[in-house]
Amino acid sequence: MTNMIEILTSDYGVHLAILVSLYLILAQSLNLTVGLGQLFNLAHVASYAVGAYATALLSTEHSASFTVCVAVSISLCAAFATLLGAISLRLTTDYFAIGTLAFSAVVSALLINWKSVTHGVLGIPGIPRPELLGIDFYDNGNFLALIGIFAVITQAILYCLYNSPCGRSLRALAEFERAAASLGKNTRRTRNIAFCVSSAFAGLAGSFFSYYLNYIDPSSFGLGEMVFILTIVIVGSPGSFGGVIGATLFLVLLPEPLRFLDISSTYLGPMRQLLHALILFGVVWWKRDKLFPQRRTV
Amino acid sequence: MLELSDIFVSFRSAHVLNGISCSVRGGETVGVIGPNGSGKTTLFNCISGFAPCRKGTITLRGERIDHLEPYLRAQRGLGRVFQNFGIFREMSLLENIQLALESRRDTSAGFLPWSKRTRETIERSMTFLKDVGLDGKAREKASSLSGGQMRLLEIVRTLALGSDLFLLDEPTAGVSPRMKEDIAQSIRNLQSMGKTVLIIEHDITFIQKFCDRIVVLEEGRVVLDDTPERVRSDERLQEIYFGRDDRSARP
Amino acid sequence: MLSILPQLLVNSLITGSIYALASAGLALTYSLLRILNFAHGHIMMLGAYCFLLFYGQLELSFPTAVLYSTLCMMAVGFVMLRIFILPFVQSSTLLPFITTIALGTILECAVSMIFGVNVRSFPSSASSNSMEVRGVYITPFQCAIVVSALLILGTLAFLVHQTSLGRKVRAIAENRSAAESLGISVTLITYGVCILGTLLGAYAGILVGYETNIQPTMGSSYSIKAFAAMVLGGLGNIWGTVLGAYILGLIENLSIGLDFWGYSLPAGYKDAFAFLVILGVLLLRPHGLFGTRSRAT
């Protein structure tokens, strides 16, 4: 027992708490599109990457302040989401999935190849920790407080959004689009809002990711990451607010014991991904009839 | 109230509606009947905006609505009750009504779940549910309702939207015979509130009780448009339903 | 600039042939089941590694290696269909997409744990001396790629459009339950066609291994490229997809080969360009260059 407390208050415990906060923001915002809107959004990690790179570039090359970085990351992601939404939100399910997948593929190809800006696979080192209101967040404990506050605010906003008129319309049109339209709901606008908000929060998470690691490279924003966030939402059951919080805690902490086993680091990454993929498949198998109810059309 | 003139609708090469003209006065109840495939549901889809019309105009209270998107038509007072239940089964009864109230222009919806305006919306939703006797199930999922209850909920939801023109697509389909009278009662309520109602129905004896007029469609054209008594006794109705040569079979 | 054009066209034909073989299998599966199989690129990768294992590492003779790889990939195709796709088809069209993403990840992790993450290539046996025909360089192996692709796709076209088996396949693609009520053994044909698609994918993977090189992470990028070809041709349209694959090859090669106003794109942007094509097509012609509105929604 004392052992547990030692772990939780140690640097390692703080590190895990920061990771949990980060993924809470990411997963709950993906839940808005994948869960409530039943939009199979595979561009979430692309937004995460855009947010992370925006913050990294602004703070290293222009030494911009925390507020500026976060604001730019969020608005850049919202802008990208508006653009992508205009192309793909009017499409049917399959095409929407392919369109968002293509967008994230474009983003990751740009991260690797646009070397003059993103430094390619070398990544961007030396991202300074933020300072706000005279407090610096160089210490991980302080940083945990900052990201924790933001994670709680995000959860609160998204909770209100889920139960707001907009969230209700989103759920309604996911179930039966025509009935929602004949209740006077602007289906296109509702979807666009959801897509934009979801992407903006992914940008926020990206911003914190760069600040926390001080170094980012394209490998953090691959398909594996997308699979992980998707697994969180699906394990937590799409559309359920509490479920996603629980699943975040469970899945972020689950592979940690692997660290203490004597496994060489070349196997550790693949083994984690393998674990996530197996859990994803298992949950889909187990809940296949409930996950995505068939949409109704007349 | 509603004016349709010369409406043509086609999907790919199939012509579904071929020049429908019809006008409905405010407060009137009009039945729409016709054999399967005569274009009844397509006519409703065209009025509510889901089936674009190739030619022709739709006017609601003097305003052209044929170029508007479905949700804008709904906001102008067009209420639609779907044939295969348009309620949201994954949501609670209360949320179904809330959705409708939040679309009204005269109510501003609250964002926060505990705000005063949200509470007001919930209270108003409860009064609507009480009217149809479903307030006891307000927090349950709508999928727990029977067919008849779903239909009642959908009608009262459209009422909460503030519509004054109701398009009811086969309101008795999938409803147990015992509940049919409840549906009839709620249609009479709509009439007493001065709402305009269009009903698609197979059962002519069910609708002739409260229709002022009956429109008969065949192959996307209006064949008959008259009072229920005269439509019932008209020979053309028999022809449409039973073929031209077999006049001995009467309903 | 124009002098390099014939070479670019030939290169496009080679790339296009590989893409066509890869995406034909995907399009066949889509047309029968209306599902997007994300693991198709990983199947290509696995096919290539299978062949590498039997031919490169166990040093079996070429025909034996081919035979063993074929058997292996047939088994993989069967397992994929039986466990990862068919149980979910009834519930929602999205679920097989998710499960095949999981399958793709599983294959990628397994292969990188067994073979390592490094880039591999096949021991080249065929003479790699390129021939020059009117200023265009091409190796005999590249000729073989193009010819074999045309032969395979031609046979496929003959099977689908001229034989009774093909009529059954088209009937299932059009209306599954109607085909079933006509006494067509839907399940058997689905298995047969999808395993054929797996073999085509694996063959394309082996060609990639000979032409360039392979690595465990190549799967998803080939999956997305095959999706690009499908989107170009319209989902479910097999010949549209094959044509889309050649167009994709053309776009990729032209985008990096030609210079635009003195500025040419670096080779790394090739992939980004292919994916941009998807977005462009979705924006302008959402149902493919040759497709009408798809039936399935």
Q: What is the pLDDT of residues C203-262, one digit of tens each?
A: 999 998 888 888 888 888 899 889 989 888 888 788 888 999 999 998 888 877 766 666
Tokens of B67: 């170029």
Residue C262, domain member (yes or no): yes
A180 touches chain B (CB under 8 A): yes
Q: From the CA of B70, how many Å to the nearest CA of chain A?
A: 6
CB C95 within 8 A of CB A291: yes
Chain A residues within 8 A of C232 when measuring between CB atoms: none
Identify the CA nearest to A206 among candidates A124, A87, A115: A124
Q: Is the minimum CB–CB distance between A172 and chain B shorter than 8 Å?
A: yes
Q: CB contact, 8 Å: A286 with chain C?
A: no
Per the prediction, chain C carries an average pLDDT of 84
Task: Please report whether residue B49 resides in a domain.
Answer: yes
Q: Do C113 and A271 make contact, defined as CB atoms within 8 angstroms?
A: yes
Residues in B 162-191 with any Cβ partner in A closer than 8 A? none
| CA separation for the pair A229, B21 (Å, rounded) | 54
Percent pLDDT > 70 in chain C is 91
8 Å CB contact of A99 and C279: yes
Give the residue carrying structure tokens 């360089």.
Answer: C137
For residue range B49-88, list pLDDT tens digits in order.
888 888 889 998 888 888 888 888 988 888 999 888 888 9
**Is C291 inside a domain boundary?**
no
Model confidence at B249: pLDDT above 60 = no
B115 shares its domain with B179: no
| Whole-number Å distance between alpha carbons of C53 and B168 | 66
Contacts of B110 in chain A (CB under 8 A): 164-165
pLDDT value for A232: 93
The per-residue b/e assignment along B12-44, b for 16 or more CB within 10 angstroms, e otherwise, is: eeeebbbebebebeeebbbbbbbeeebbbbbbb
Is there a single domain that holds both residue B6 and residue B70?
yes
Residue B81 shares a structural domain with residue B9: yes
* pLDDT value, residue C128: 63
Where are the domains positioned within chain A?
A: 14-222
A183:B161 CB<8 A: yes
Count how many domains chain B has: 2
pLDDT of residue C104: 93
What CATH number corresponds to the domain at position C267? Answer: 1.10.3470
Contact A180 B48 (CB under 8 A): no
Which residues of chain A make contact with B103, given a CB cutoff of 8 A? 183-185
Distance CA C233, CA C235 (A): 7
Point out the least confidently predicted range of B68-72, B134-138, B240-244, C2-6.
Answer: B240-244
**Residues in chain A with pLDDT < 70?**
1-9, 294, 296-298
Judged by a CB distance cut-off of 8 A, whether residue C268 touches chain A is yes
Q: Partners of A46 in the beta sheet?
A: none
The reply to whether B58 falls in a domain is: yes
The verdict on B66 and B92 lying in the same domain is no
- Tell me if C109 and A273 make a contact (CB, 8 A cut-off): yes
**Does any domain span residue B213?**
yes
SS3 A266: helix
The pLDDT value given to residue C260:
64
Predicted confidence (pLDDT) at residue C297 exceeds the cutoff of 50: no
Tokens of A238: 């799409």
Asked whether residue B74 is domain-assigned, the answer is yes
Distance of CA A2 to the CA centre of its chain: 34
The angle at the Cα of C188, spanning C187 to C191, to the nearest 5 degrees, equals: 85
Please give the average per-residue pLDDT across C32-36, as a whole number.
87
- Say yes or no to pLDDT of C119 above 50: yes
CA distance C62 to C173: 36
Show which of residues 85-104 on chain B sit within 8 Å of chain A, judged by CB atoms.
86-91, 95, 98-100, 102-104
Give the pair of three-digit tokens for residue B107: 């109510």
- Residue A181, chain B, CB below 8 Å: the answer is yes
> For residue B205, which of B166, B172, B169 has the smallest C-alpha distance?
B172
Residues 6+ apart with CB under 8 A from C151: none
Q: What is the pLDDT of residue A73?
A: 92
Q: How confident is residue C140, by pLDDT bands cut at 50, 70 and 90?
A: confident
- pLDDT greater than 60 at residue B149: yes
Look at chain C and report how many structural domains it folds into: 1
Least CB–CB distance from A98: residue in C92, C272, C278: C278
Q: Which residue has the higher pLDDT, B31 or B109?
A: B31
- Number of Cβ atoms within 10 Å of the Cβ of C183: 8
Given an 8 Å threshold on Cβ–Cβ distance, is A171 in contact with B80?
no
Mean pLDDT over C186-195 rounds to 90
Give yes or no for A79 touching C (CB within 8 A).
Answer: no
Query: Whole-number mean pLDDT of chain B?
Result: 85
Contact across the interface for A288 and C268, Cβ inside 8 Å: no
Alpha-carbon gap: A290 to the closest alpha carbon of chain B (Å):
11
Q: Strands, DSSP E only, in B119-203?
A: 165-169, 196-200
Query: Is B51 in the same domain as B64?
Result: yes
Residue A244 has a pLDDT of: 92
Does B156 map to a domain? no
Examine the pLDDT at C290 and tell me if it is beyond 60: yes
Q: Does C111 touch chain A (CB under 8 A)?
A: no
> Residue C296 pLDDT > 60, yes or no?
no
Q: B149 vs A191, A200, C197, C220, CA distance in Å?
A: 30, 41, 49, 49
Q: Are residues B137 and B196 in the same domain?
A: no
Distance from CA of B203 to the nearest CA of A (A): 21
Same domain, B174 and B71: yes
Q: Is the domain of B46 the same as that of B107?
A: no
Predicted confidence band of residue C131 (pLDDT cuts 50, 70, 90): confident
List all chains that touch chain B, counting a touch as 3 or more CB pairs closer than 8 Å. A
Residue B248 has pLDDT above 60, yes or no: no
Q: Which domain holds residue B80?
A: 2-86+168-242
Residues C105 and C179: their CA atoms lie apart, in Å, by 34
Instruction: Give me the residue from B89, B103, B111 closest to A160, CB to CB.
Output: B111
In a domain, B159, yes or no: no
Supply the range of the domain harboring residue C191. 2-121+130-284
pLDDT at B244: 53
In a domain, B154, yes or no: no
- pTM, 2 dp: 0.87
Mean pLDDT of C133-145: 79
Q: Which residues of chain A have a CB within 8 Å of the CB of C228?
A: 102
